[in-house]
Structure 1
Amino acid sequence: MTKVLIATDKPFAAVAVQGIREIMEAAGFELALLEKYTEKAQLLDAVKDVDAIIIRSDIIDAEVLEAAKNLKIVVRAGAGYDNVDLDAATAHNVCVMNTPGQNANAVAELVFGMLVYSIRNHFNGTSGTELLTKKLGILAYGNVGRNVARIAKGFGMKVYAYDAFCPAAIIENDGVKALGSTEELFEKCQVVSLHIPATPETKNSINFDLMSKMPKGATIVNTARKEVVDEAGLVKMFEERPDFVYLTDIKPSNDAELAEKYGARYFGTPKKMGAQTAEANINAGIAAAKQIVEFIANGVRKYQVNK
């Protein structure tokens, strides 16, 4: 019998686990749970006889893959998958998938939750500003970026986007102005929302030279990955641009320093919050379960992210 493991340091909601269980039982699969584990050894022991694993932010590295002799597929319930060693997975003939789009609205709503909190001065009783007519730039027009655009138009913002891999016609068809480069996006927009993955090309790509191109009243919202922002450049930006604001749900390494020195212009959530809604939690878990069944039963690899 095919055995599927849910390995989650931060567990799914109970209703999501129940939904996953129903899907697995209907397919004739066995479901095992490893929740709130505290040591890697627990994970290594749990994967020994499983055919498939569903994870959230849990680390699947070469050691885990070596321990999981029967493993055929890992599904990361969420969009990002840099917590999985893709090269090691490929070497072990393991398919890795994500569940794109399942938490996109949750992340997009968080962008605007942080923006409104910021422009209204953390609700401290003083007069703030409004998003209406402000220029918003979206860097990477994937599932989250498209939801950000949709919500931004509801606020009456002027919306721009740049994505090296998305045709301008698709962006323009959504009523969003497509720009020709990252530099142009930063030069034009007072607010930039980051939705790029952490890759060798993007890590530290949001540097001082790029950020300093932004017009007066510059705000960057990062719900992508902390590695894409150059932290030394971020500090320099705070020092040289008293109008600069940085909002994120992935705390930088120098979070305490930024909060102490620039608390009025900096906000970082206590932990990664983008997908932390009941709906996203359930959607991603159910999608992961369905993808495993389709892969095991029919060989479907639609959302595979490794080669």
Structure 2
Amino acid sequence: MTKVLLATEKPFSPAAVKQIQAVVEEAGFEFALLEKYTAPEQFYQAVSGADALIVRSDLVTPQVLEAAKALKIVVRAGAGFDNIDLPTATAKGVVVMNTPGQNANAVAELALGMMVYLARGCFNGKSGSELRGKTLGLHAFGNVGRRVAEIAKGFGMHVYAYDPFLTKDAIENEGVTALASVEQLYDTCQYVSLHIPANEQTRGSINYALLNRMPQGATLVNTARKEVVNEADLLKIFAERPDFKYLSDVTPDCAAEIAEKFPGRFYFTPKKMGAQTEEANVNAGIAAANQIRDFFQKGDTRFQVNK
């Protein structure tokens, strides 16, 4: 019998687990669960007999893939998949998928929520500022970027986007102004929200040269990955521009220095929380289970990321 392992150090909600299990068992597969594991060896042992694996931010390393002798598919319940060793998976013939769009609303609501929180002085009782009328730039315009745009327009923000993989028409059909270059995005927008993946091209790409182009009252919003921001340059822009603020769903390595030197100009979630809603939990988990079912029953590889 095909065995599907749900392995999550940071567990799904009980409701999500129940629905994931129902999809797996209705397909005629065996369901196995590993939660809150404290050592990699526990993961290695659990995955050893699995044909399919669902993870969240868990690291699917070469050691995990070596232990998983029967593994045919890994699905990351979420959009990002940099926690999975794609070259090793590909070499072993393991299909890797993500579940794009399932967490988009949760991440977008967090991005706007953090903007409101900092604009209002973290609700410290003093006068703050409003989002209405401000310029917001979306650095990449995928599922999350589109949802951020939809919510931001409801706040009365002027929304712009840059995405080198999309045409101007594809962006402007969503009611957003397309910009021709990343430099133009940072020149134009008081708020810039990052929605880029972490890869060889993007790591450290959000640097001093870009950030210093932003107009007065600049706020960078990061619900992507901390690796895309050059932290040495981040500290430099904080020091040189008293108007600069940073919001992140990924606590930077230099967080202690920022807190000591630049109080009131940042907010970092205590852990990555973009997808931490009941709805996102359920949506991403069920999507992962459905994709595994369709892979085994129909040969469907639509969401494969290691082609």
Quote the residue 1:263 is aligned against.
263
| Distance across 1 between alignment mates of 2:99 and 2:167 | 22
| Distance across 2 between alignment mates of 1:31 and 1:233 | 47
Quote the residue 1:161 is aligned against.
161
| Distance across 1 between alignment mates of 2:259 and 2:292 | 42
Q: TM-score, normalised by structure 2?
A: 0.99
Quote the residue 1:74 is aligned against.
74
Structure 2: state its 5+ residue gaps. none
Quote the residue 1:275 is aligned against.
275
Q: Does 1:188 align with 2:188?
A: yes
| Distance across 2 between alignment mates of 1:228 and 1:83 | 15
| Distance across 1 between alignment mates of 2:151 and 2:36 | 35
Within 5 A, what are the aligned runs for 1:175-254?
A: 175-254=175-254
| Distance across 1 between alignment mates of 2:166 and 2:224 | 18
In structure 1, give the amino acid aligned to 2:201: E
Retained in 2: the 8 A contact 1:56–1:76? yes
Retained in 2: the 8 A contact 1:105–1:144? yes
**Residue 53 of structure 1: SS of its match in structure 2?**
strand
| Distance across 2 between alignment mates of 1:281 and 1:18 | 11
| Distance across 1 between alignment mates of 2:139 and 2:10 | 29
| Distance across 2 between alignment mates of 1:8 and 1:78 | 13
Q: TM-score, normalised by structure 1?
A: 0.99
Quote the residue 1:27 is aligned against.
27
**Residue 11 of structure 2: SS of its match in structure 1?**
coil
| Distance across 2 between alignment mates of 1:139 and 1:182 | 8
**Residue 237 of structure 1: SS of its match in structure 2?**
helix
Computed over aligned residues only, the root mean square deviation of the Cα atoms, in angstroms, reads 0.6
Give a deviation string over 1:1-20, Cα, whole Å, max 9, x none. Answer: 00000000011111111111
| Distance across 1 between alignment mates of 2:147 and 2:263 | 28
| Distance across 1 between alignment mates of 2:123 and 2:6 | 40
- How far residue 189 of structure 1 moved from its aligned partner, in angstroms, is 0.4
| Distance across 1 between alignment mates of 2:110 and 2:167 | 26
Within 5 A, what are the aligned runs for 1:55-94?
A: 55-94=55-94
In structure 2, give the amino acid aligned to 1:285: G
Give a deviation string over 1:112-156, Cα, whole Å, max 9, x none. Answer: 110000010011111111111101000000000000000010000
- How far residue 263 of structure 1 moved from its aligned partner, in angstroms, is 2.1
| Distance across 2 between alignment mates of 1:47 and 1:84 | 14
- How far residue 164 of structure 1 moved from its aligned partner, in angstroms, is 0.6
| Distance across 1 between alignment mates of 2:127 and 2:133 | 18
Identity, in percent, stands at 63
Retained in 2: the 8 A contact 1:259–1:267? no
Within 5 A, what are the aligned runs for 1:93-108?
A: 93-108=93-108
- How far residue 266 of structure 1 moved from its aligned partner, in angstroms, is 1.2
**Residue 192 of structure 2: SS of its match in structure 1?**
strand
**Residue 141 of structure 1: SS of its match in structure 2?**
coil
Quote the residue 1:112 is aligned against.
112
| Distance across 1 between alignment mates of 2:255 and 2:105 | 26
**Residue 203 of structure 2: SS of its match in structure 1?**
coil
